[in-house]
Amino acid sequence: MRTRNQLRLAVGLMVALLWSGSPAVMAATNWAAAVGLKLDESLAELAVARREIADEKIPVVKTLTAAETELTEARRAYEDIRRQLDRRNLDLGNLRNDIAAREQEKSYVSSLLGEFVRNFETRLHIVELGRYQSAVEAARLAPENGNLKPAEIFSRQVALVEASLQRLKDLCGGDRFQGRGAGPNGLVKDGTVILLGPVAYFASEDGAISGIAEQRLGSLEPAVQPYANPTYASLTRDFVVKGEGLVPFDASLGSARKIEETRESLREHLKKGGPVVAPILGLAGVVALVTTVKWLRLAMVRLPSPSQFDRLVDAILERNNEAALRAATNLSGPAGAMLAAGAAHMEAPKDLIEEVMFEKLLETRFQLNKGLPLISVSAACAPLLGLLGTVTGIIGTFKLITVFGSGDVKMLSAGISEALITTELGLCVAIPSLISHAFLSRKAKTIVDGMERMGMAFVSAVEKARHVPEQAT
């Protein structure tokens, strides 16, 4: 607006100059006319430019609006894509965690299956080893085979699990299948097996072997234990062949039969003790003989009854030496001999009477104790001989271990048990020997004590009789 007013002011000034009529004014007038013309053209151009700008502004605005709308849509799409990307990253992380968890589960399941494969074979009865050997071998060797895919390894292990489940179903009512068994002579024969829980019955095709199939140490084939009773053997064979019928069953699962097999006669038991058994049995015989003879002799020894001894004392107090000697002589046993010796020396001094009677007492004590030291020595030597036999037997057992090793614990225990037989026999001889020695010693001492009491009473009666006349005086 300012420019337009300035132009009008200049035009008015030039018009005023033109009205003044000077040449300069004329020139200015012409210039003003040119300028005005130019101004009109410029204004026309300006109007045209404004119309063009107005005409072009609407499409540009529309284009800008469309672009802004497109940009907004693009930003929205970008945000959606970014959110989708975040969700996908989150899903990918969760998926990776799931994969890691599944890998751990796979490793855990693989370890369980591997442990199951290792333990399955140990749970099988020996008659089933041949039946499941191929499945067990395939499952056990699958993880070590680098050419197999994980799915193939897993399928082989699962196949063994399925076989074990089928085995459990078959065992619920008893399972019957073909198998092999080794007889007592070691010959392996084909036959039929019936598995009832932990008990396996076997019968060969030719009918020569029938019994319970068990595992034997060091053998890969089941060992058939035949029945000693022919009736049981026939029942077992018919039951296995026909699949039905009566069958002998051991509730102890073979323990009763094994205990029965360990039973032996006394002769067999003593024979296992070795050469040391002979002197131990010799001592036992000596002790038995001496004990029997000694007990009979001591049982025959009788002490005088109180009435008989009182008659002797009365004769002594009456100073009737002949009656006293006759009464003492009539007494039986060693006590009678002692009192008779005392009665024969009634007039002698007291010390002499005591010496004479004590001599008889010592003689009697020697006779009564005769043979008892032999019993006590036997009681002391028998355990030592037993220990000697045990030590020599264990030395022999360890020599065998040095040669053959200690893999067979049964052989080792059998050798030690046989070595302990001599100790058992030694104690069996020593304990009764000690008891018999104590009994016989006690009986002999009782007799000697009774004789001492009678001797002291006899001497007291003699002394009392000697002082009676003096007291009466």
Same domain, 208 and 356: no
**344 and 394 co-located in one domain:** yes
Same domain, residue pair 99 and 130:
no
Cα separation, 284 vs 269, in Å, equals 16
Domain boundary among 202, 225, 246: 246
CA 387 to mean position of chain CA atoms: 32
* Cβ contact 406:444 at 8 Å: no
For residues 241 and 302, state if they share a domain. Answer: no
Whole-prediction pTM: 0.54
- Give me 339's structure tokens: 């009192």
Q: State how far the Cα of 210 lies from the Cα of 202, in Å rounded to an integer.
A: 5
Separation between Cα atoms, residue 406 and residue 384, nearest integer Å = 29
One domain for residues 136 and 179: yes
Judge if 312 and 415 occupy the same domain.
Answer: yes
In 345-408, which ranges are continuous DSSP H helix?
Answer: 350-369, 372-404
Q: Is there a single domain that holds both residue 328 and residue 459? A: yes
Q: Which residues in 231-261 are b (16+ Cβ under 10 Å) and which e? A: ebbebbbbbbbeeeeebeeeeeeeeebeeee
Is 315 a domain residue?
A: yes
Residues 6+ apart with CB under 8 A from 428: 284
pLDDT at 470: 47
* 60 and 149 housed in the same domain: no
Please tell me the distance from the alpha carbon of residue 306 to that of residue 318, in angstroms, as a whole number.
Answer: 18
- Residue 209 within a domain: yes
Of 103, 136, 161, the residue at which a domain comes to its end is 103
145 and 35: one domain? no
Confidence (pLDDT) at 126: 81
- Alpha-carbon span 35 to 375, nearest angstrom: 172
| Same-domain check for residues 136 and 216 | yes
15 and 51 part of one domain: yes
Q: Give the residue from 199, 224, 246 where a domain finishes.
A: 246
Question: How many structural domains comprise the chain?
Answer: 3
Which residue range forms the structural domain that includes residue 354? 277-472
Residues of the chain with pLDDT below 50 are 470-473
Asked if the structure places residue 268 within a domain, the reply is: no
Q: Which two tokens stand for residue 87?
A: 């969700």
CA angle 449, 453, 459 (to 5 degrees): 140
Cβ-Cβ contacts under 8 Å for 459 (sequence gap 6 or more): 342, 350, 353, 354, 357
Give the residue among 278, 276, 275 at the shortest CA–CA distance from 286: 278
Residue 468 one-letter amino acid:
V
In the three-class reduction of DSSP (H, G, I as helix; E, B as strand; rest coil), residue 1 is classed as coil
Measured distance CA(350)–CA(466) in Å, rounded: 10
In one-letter notation, the amino acid at residue 104 is Q
Residue 329 lies in a domain: yes
Name the nearest CA neighbour of 383 among 276, 275, 264, 269.
Answer: 276
Q: Which residues pair with 191 in a beta bridge?
A: 179, 204
Please check whether residue 252 lies inside any domain of the structure. Answer: no
In a domain, 461, yes or no: yes
Q: Is residue 111 part of a domain?
A: no
Residue 225 lies in a domain: yes
Do both 18 and 99 map to the same domain? yes
